[in-house]
Chain A
């Protein structure tokens, strides 16, 4: 990585802002921070493709582009496919001597809607074919750009505009799709979860994913003040609570071997995570109990996997 670096203990972070300020993301945007940090880890020899979603627009409202690296919009469901075409092209052009050998990171950065739902087939195809790309899912747990509609990443009980809490409904009625495990089942070299509340962990994982040969996937929980309905200054805190309550465990799967990156002797009660967010305001004590039970189950399942397939 060229350019000036700022030291944070053992961690060196690039000073250069490859994502400039002046973008139109909401105040306190978790995705924005995740992208900014990711680009510091990736460096300038990076091409980013982003499908429909907040970041297809907020960094690229003509004529204001916040991107100082080659950046492409893609269609909603084809970010993975488009980047795989770029990656294949570079590989063959270098093979054929039509362009000089160099390392260029081909990175797709897609929301949970584009990843879990409409783009899941294209993503699965790219993972299965083994393209050398990094796929970052920015998971703000709904279709935020179009006004907070549910996705399959919306957590159980969350109120969205298409799963609103109402007289006969308590919000999203299904559990959040575990996309990280879906991706891990493709047996790709590197899968990880991350959160901008843990910036060095996130940046290291992005860097690792980019350096690994073959597909890499990093699932980033991106707290969204607008959609989750909490004051923007709490973005980092909410992300930490998601991890500390076991709702969003931070772990890696490298060549099928599991490693929990952030472990705690005991998890905080899930209520501490749910209470500050307006999207969960309607939940009853019974709902919260049910969620707590399920969070515990999922966390224990993960811990078992980690024990079975320890790195």
Chain B
């Protein structure tokens, strides 16, 4: 019997990793990820999880050790945030280009300075081009489910790519929500053992990463790009299997009350839940608004986006990250680019807020929708509008 218990996001992550029977964990503490790795250390110390727990001396080494472990054939997991995420940046590229399915939870946290510990996506957004599959969870059930399904997705022989699951620092990692945990037997049915076709083996020696030049690099990168894009099919398949076994079905873009909605708010992460309430209130007042929630960030879900907005005329996109000096928030920039050829008719408004864990209320989302619609209609001098930021 699956059980419904109260879990903060961090513990949902560690529980998923434990149920997936990870073999190697190499991690370095950083607020707000610490509870994840502390709980995992407890599991290992009490024999509830048989894994090699490597308390590395930096995040760079954390991801490096994870790469090595995965290459040697171990199911591998780590977690980090913000500064640690930045420190391991070059290794992220290594892991994905070498096609190792390392799974990582990122408790999204704002970039320093100023020194801070609270959540926004400025860490996640710098990893767009690293070649990892990337998911954003909006509640702790999704945190658990996405981390668990990441092993299935990343380790699929047609994928063999690393996966990162983003969860809002503090707002999800440290907030207790009800989470339904499956039976171990169900998890075992869902997750086959990890096998890599090119695992390091002295009986089958290979050279892993050589020096290559202008004459071949492009072909390698194109192959990597195609593989990442094609992984979407397997993500959909894996989520279908997930739903069939565990009863919860996920899709790259979740539509909330979008029927007949001419104006759509687009959001990602836990503030989407607040936005849902704002949509409820607005719809009660008879406004034709809806919400779409982005779960799959890479590979970018083009088809699902076109489908989700097919009846919409206006798209108000909320970014919990500022792209300094750029053409607006990261998400709206990509959405605009994705829709440029398909839907030249769509009117856009970009909103940035919630930085460094600043909370946004239902009212603020309602106002943001109004403001967004106005901007989309009339246009704006500004590249983006802010929500909840003192101007």
Contacts and interface: CB of A to CB of B under 8 A. Distances in A.
Interface in B202-237: 202, 204-213, 216
A47 B202 contact: yes
Nearest to A91: B52
B202 A89 contact: no
Interface string B69-109: 11111101000000000000011001000000000000000
Given A62-B211, A78-B91, A92-B51, A122 B72 contact: no
22 contacts: A60-B211, A61-B210, A61-B211, A62-B216, A67-B205, A69-B205, A72-B71, A75-B91, A77-B60, A85-B26, A85-B69, A85-B70, A85-B76, A88-B54, A89-B69, A91-B52, A92-B23, A93-B74, A96-B23, A98-B23, A122-B61, A129-B56
A173 interface: no
A98 B21 CA distance: 12
Given A70-B200, A86-B71, A122-B60, 17 more contacts: A44-B202, A47-B200, A62-B213, A67-B207, A70-B207, A71-B206, A74-B64, A78-B60, A82-B67, A82-B68, A85-B64, A85-B65, A86-B72, A88-B24, A91-B52, A92-B51, A129-B56
B65 A88 contact: yes
A125 B91 contact: no
Nearest to A128: B57
A124 interface: yes
B71 A69 contact: no
Given A92-B23, A92-B51, A125 B200 contact: no
Given A93-B73, A121-B58, A81 B202 contact: no
A90 interface: yes
Interface size class of B (residues with CB under 8 A): 35 or more
A125 B109 CA distance: 26
A56 interface: yes
Interface in B186-207: 193, 200-202, 204-207
A160 B215 CA distance: 32
A72 B64 contact: no
Contact of A75 (B72, B90, B204): B90
Given A44-B202, A122-B60, A73 B54 contact: no
Contacts, number: 147
- Which 10 pairs, one residue from A and one from B, show the smallest C-beta to C-beta distance? A85-B68, A125-B57, A85-B65, A89-B74, A78-B64, A81-B61, A89-B72, A81-B64, A89-B69, A73-B209
B138 interface: no
Interface of B: 23-24, 26, 50-52, 54-58, 60-61, 64-74, 76, 90-91, 94, 193, 200-202, 204-213, 216
Interface of A: 44-47, 49, 56-57, 60-63, 65, 67-75, 77-78, 80-93, 95-96, 98-99, 104, 121-122, 124-125, 128-129
A61 B210 CA distance: 6
Contacts of A88: 24, 26, 52, 54, 65, 69, 74
B207 to A, nearest CB: 4
Contacts of B64: 74-75, 78, 81-82, 85, 122
Contacts of B61: 78, 80-81, 84, 121-122, 125
Contacts of B57: 121-122, 124-125, 128
Nearest to B65: A85
Contact of B208 (A71, A84, A85): A71
Given A81-B65, A129-B54, A65 B73 contact: no
Contacts of A77: 60
B52 A45 contact: no
